[in-house]
Amino acid sequence: MTVKRLAILGSTGSIGTQTLDVVRSCPELFQVTVLAANTSDQMLEQQIDAFRPKLAVLVDEDAASRLRARYHGTTEIRGGERALLEAAAYDDADIVVTSMVGFAGLAPTLAALKAKKTIALANKETLVVAGELVTALAKENGVSILPVDSEHCALFQCLQGERRDTVERLILTASGGPFRGKTTEELKSVTVADCLKHPTWSMGKKITVDSATLVNKGLEVIEAHWLYDVPYEKIEVAVHPQSIVHSMVEFRDGAVMAQLGLPDMRLPIQYALTYPTREEADFGRMDFTTRMSLTFEPPDMHTFRGLALAYEAGKSGGTMPCVLNGANEEAVAAFLAGRIGFLDIYDCIERAMDAQENVLHPSFETLCEADANARAFVRGYLKN
């Protein structure tokens, strides 16, 4: 297998560090040529020492200056938003792993698409806020978008060799998060610490909160719509607490294909990076000789309103998914800072969606404006 050159955007985050774990386990398959992070200059320096990329970027200019002041190696250190876009389009990279969190991942993903880079997509917000724009650009440039999310990687694998017109349903599984089964009354008193105790996955704080609200699953529904060109009426969610079945596809003859595996993000990351081949991995194996139960239940979309709001935004199209995402990011930040309660996240999203005009077929500039307006609305709402 030819060595693949990787640019990892968001290298110090949860997906970024696990991507580097995959590289460590298969050093003969990959070469890291670009690393990019937001503010974590000390952690990025450790990654530079370990992987010796040609280019390293910190979006925060002060963090980049600190790193340049103490670093004396051969890696070029750049800082700022423009440097991030240059990293995404870097000539000496074959695959761009887009694992930056939130709306911030959109611009570098667009830059990578324009540079005709294969995208290993871990930033679901990119397709949520700009699915129409991103898919059109990928098609125009003949670029593959390979999903890294465990659920979308599962769907991708189940669809291999199948005609899309034979698909009856996509079934995304959800763990249910730390509050599965709780009532609205019980959710009024949950804390940030409670929220961050995910039962099966180890993730960053923002996505862990999104998992608890089921907003994350809603974002994945919108993402699935764009990745697989399937209408929302054929995309369903099933709560599966064991997180062993990562997603399923039902076909028109009633057959269901499912992808199973341990809840380890390194598995879908490696599949995306090595596709279309499968390479050996030593990330653990399932033991079907032991007693095991796999259970499924419908999501409680009345209590966990984030999923229902995402379906509403996705079906509305235009800028509404961008408004949903921007309002959620702002509200989650406020929750993590202890300024609002858990249930207030839903109110922020719903009120922002009600207040913002929906613009169909938006440009990148229009999406940036919609994102900014949604965030400003939430900030204003929380001051009142």
Task: Kindly report, residue by residue over 116-127, the tens digit of the pLDDT.
Answer: 999 999 998 999
Q: What is the mean pLDDT of residues 307-324?
A: 98
Q: Using CA atoms, how far apart are residues 378 and 329, in angstroms rounded to an integer?
A: 10
pLDDT tens sequence across 154-200: 999 999 999 999 999 999 999 998 999 999 999 999 999 999 887 77
* 85 band by pLDDT with thresholds 50, 70 and 90: very high
DSSP structure string for 142-178: T--EEE-SHHHHHHHHHTTT--GGGEEEEEEEE---T
For the sheet with 145-147, list strands across it.
76-79, 55-58, 30-37, 4-9, 95-98, 118-121, 145-147
329-366 tens-digit pLDDT: 999 999 999 999 999 999 999 999 999 999 999 999 99
CB 73 within 8 A of CB 132: no
pLDDT of residue 3: 93
Order of all β-strands in the sheet with 235-239: 235-239, 167-174, 245-251, 256-260
Average pLDDT over residues 315-322: 97
Contact (CB, 8 A) for 118 and 124: no
Instruction: Give the long-range contacts of residues 282-286, CB within 8 A, separation 24 or more.
Output: 282/25, 283/25, 286/244, 286/260, 286/261, 286/262
Q: Which domains does the chain have, with CATH numbers?
A: 4-147 (3.40.50.720), 150-306 (no CATH), 317-384 (1.10.1740.10)
Which pLDDT value is given to residue 282? 85
DSSP 283: S
In angstroms, the CA 340 to CA 336 distance is: 8
Among 278-287, 315-324, 369-378, the range scoring the smallest mean pLDDT is 278-287
Q: Check residue 137 and give its pLDDT.
A: 97
* 281 confidence band (pLDDT: 50, 70, 90): confident
Give φ, ψ of 63 to 5 degrees: -65, -40
pLDDT digits (tens, 9 = 90+) for 102-151: 888 999 999 999 999 999 999 989 999 999 999 999 999 999 999 999 99
Residues sharing a CB contact under 8 Å with residue 315, sequence separation 6 or more, in sequence order: 232
Phi and psi, residue 9, nearest 5°? -95, 120
Strands 245-251 and 167-174, by their bridges, are antiparallel
| Angle between helix 14-25 and 41-51 (nearest 10) | 10
Cα 296 from chain centroid? 23
Report pLDDT for 43.
97
Instruction: Report the pLDDT value the prediction gives residue 20, as an integer from 0 to 100.
Output: 97
